[in-house]
């Protein structure tokens, strides 16, 4: 999970600046990060076996961003990327 997080941070061009925060039964890992253009952000990585990379936990933030951004006060979702390795799929979300 930490290696996948480091790869995602590199791809999203962010520098990790804060302590790690684990969530949802070890399926998510987040850090405060610094983006060269957007400044301080939050990077969240979620993992799931390939056949379980779907559903509310996987799609919830993207769906909420599409439905509510601009109408409900919440951090803006800047970008998402997905990758796969050794039977797992990872999704990184860069938030305001």
Specify the pLDDT at position 73.
72
Query: Shortest CA distance to 22 belongs to which of 54, 55, 44?
Result: 44
| Whole-structure pTM value | 0.82
Could you give the angle at the alpha carbon of 90 between the alpha carbons of 73 and 39, nearest 5°?
Answer: 45
Specify the pLDDT at position 50.
78
Question: pLDDT by residue for the chain (96 residues), tens digit each?
Answer: 999 999 999 999 999 999 999 997 888 999 999 999 999 999 999 998 878 776 666 676 777 677 766 667 778 889 999 999 889 999 999 999
Specify the pLDDT at position 52.
75
Encode 58-74: b = buried (16+ Cβ within 10 Å), e = exposed: beebeeebeeeeeeeee
Specify the pLDDT at position 24.
77
Q: Give the tokens for residue 24.
A: 């949802």
Specify the pLDDT at position 58.
64
Specify the pLDDT at position 39.
97
The answer to whether 31 touches 16, Cβ cutoff 8 Å, is yes
**Residue 95 and residue 46: Cα distance in Å, rounded?**
14
**Residue 17 and residue 32: Cα distance in Å, rounded?**
6
Give the 3-state secondary structure of residue 48.
strand
Specify the pLDDT at position 55.
66
């Amino acid at each position: 999970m930490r290696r996948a997080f480091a790869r995602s941070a590199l791809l999203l061009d962010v520098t990790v600046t804060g302590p790690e925060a684990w969530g949802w039964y070890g399926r998510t890992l987040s850090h405060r990060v610094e983006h060269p253009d957007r400044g301080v952000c939050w990077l969240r990585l979620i993992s799931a076996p390939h056949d379980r990379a779907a559903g509310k936990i996987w799609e919830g933030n993207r769906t909420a961003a599409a439905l509510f951004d601009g109408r409900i006060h919440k951090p803006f979702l800047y970008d998402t990327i997905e990758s796969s390795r050794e039977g797992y799929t990872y999704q990184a979300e860069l938030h305001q």
